[in-house]
Amino acid sequence: MTAGEYAALSDVNARDHFSFGGGRRICPGLHVAERSVFINLARLLWGFNIENAKDENGNIIPVDFSTDGMLPGAMSNAKPFECCTALLLTALTNLAITPRSAKRERMMREEWAQAEKSGVDFSSIQFEKI
């Protein structure tokens, strides 16, 4: 079910989350937010291989997927975890998030450049180190 369908349930205990609030104060943009998350996740999966990071010896760096791997609080946030090894001179090694292909990497870099030309500000991101 979508967040909107869950929000419309008469039994409040049947809802799976309250991230968008409830009742009179429910977020009016929950449909846009939910679809935006879907589109962005689909684009990430289209463009990148997402794998376990490996240390300098080639061993997988474990990520705790249990509830112990979560920060305490009302929202579900993962504890910080290692994504890739350290920067060595000018090249990143053992990346856990890599482009699926050279063609897709080229397309993403072209879209990035086009976004910058149209006024999107990426100044806080060091793209060449990604």
Residue 6 tokens read as: 């869950």
Domain ranges for the chain, please list them.
1-48
- Residue-wise pLDDT tens digits, 10-46: 888 998 888 888 888 999 999 999 999 999 999 999 9
Alpha helices in the chain (DSSP H): 3-7, 30-47, 102-117
CA–CA separation, 80 vs 57, rounded Å? 22
Average the pLDDT over each of 12-16, 37-41, 48-52, 89-93 and give the range with the smallest value. Answer: 89-93
3-class state of residue 95 by DSSP: coil
CB 97, CB 48: distance < 8 Å = yes
Indicate the pTM of the whole model: 0.65
